[in-house]
Structure 1
């Protein structure tokens, strides 16, 4: 599903954000990228999402050479292949919950009716269907993150990328999102999770990959509940 080969990303004259990183993720895996601030986690996620390009190396996702895409190609790739979940939700405050969820589907060419049906299905599954006509500002943090997950899944992406998805949530809401990620993985969704929270990584991931100073410092399998296997 994901294959990075000798990926380096440099900005200006400073040290590279990533240095010669190799990473392979197979379909159906849930992989957590761990590391302190400045370790290169978000840079790695942006390269896989096609939001940035490597200075050197190759990035392939589901058969697509992401590093070779132009701006328009990157946008099409994200709509077709990738669902993105961010720490601060990135919902549009002037659109209703339903419209936030259906927007990516309509941009990808899905009919309005089909997009609305898919949105209702997802919002119902995620327990926030009653908020379909509300605006995001009226929802709790946990509810907004559930809406963000619904938006990320609307086009049935091959890959779900989550960048610190519980970082802006209280403990109870964070636990709800943790259980949601576990359920999505059990259903076969490929997930790449970027976090500094070791407990979240161990509870949701089948592998943890550690980055330090832009380099891979560890890669270990877990049983998805913190036990080595």
Structure 2
């Protein structure tokens, strides 16, 4: 994990272009640096390049040109196997629709990343228990996700994402499928995690979410950064 005393950015996207076929570039010479401990919200209309940027940082796609480095790893140079290892060890991902496995219990869902990484069962179970308690959902450990509210399911997804202690947490529209009360709970949770030192990359259309959680906001337009400003207050 990145040493927070290190001046090197946790995320370093340098002069990245991404082209799909003959159409306009999804990203056009984009450069972005994010330091450990920041909570960065990436905003922009549909087609602005938000999802492309997320996929490049997550190692799910490769740039046409330029470089992507996360926690000292040249993500754009990884093969498929190395990319999977990178995602297990260095990033946690939270999605709009939770992506939980309904045939597993809450505890079993949270344990999955540790099992894939080969963490000893006793240590993984202890870590999962700590996360469920921290996120206020330990009473649901033996339940299946379908019996939980949307906000509770998103907390399970966050616990799963944090299971392997990733330096970077990526949240892709984490409140998009939630009602206002559940969304507020997730906003509070992300703010608390960042206050504890977790670096967060938040991709969203939700200005309230960005305003309450982010220490910095970047707006993309046509694959370029149109605005990059620190938060005034949170």
- From 13, 25, 31, give the equivalent of 2:22: 13
Q: Structure 1 residues 142-151 or 198-207, which shifts more?
A: 198-207
Match of residue 208, structure 1, among 200, 206, 217: 217
Aligned to 2:160: 151
Deviation at 1:59, TM superposition (A): 0.1
TM-score by length of 2: 0.95
List aligned pairs for 1:10-159, cutoff 5 A: 10-159=19-168
- Quote the offset at 1:223 in angstroms: 3.5
Count residues with an aligned counterpart: 225
The Cα of 1:13 is off from its aligned counterpart by 1.7
CA distance in 1: counterparts of 2:77 and 2:38, whole angstroms: 25
Does 2:192 correspond to 1:183? yes
TM-score w.r.t. the length of structure 1 is 0.97
Partner-residue secondary structure (3-state), 1:150: helix
Secondary structure in 1 aligned to 2:92? strand
User: Gaps (5+ residues) in structure 2?
Assistant: 1-9
Range with greater deviation from structure 2 (178-187 or 89-98): 89-98
Name the Cα RMSD after superposition: 0.8
**Structure 1: gaps of 5 or more residues:** none
Contact 1:204 1:224 (C-alpha < 8 Å) held by counterparts: no
Alpha-carbon shift at residue 106 of structure 1 (Å): 1.1
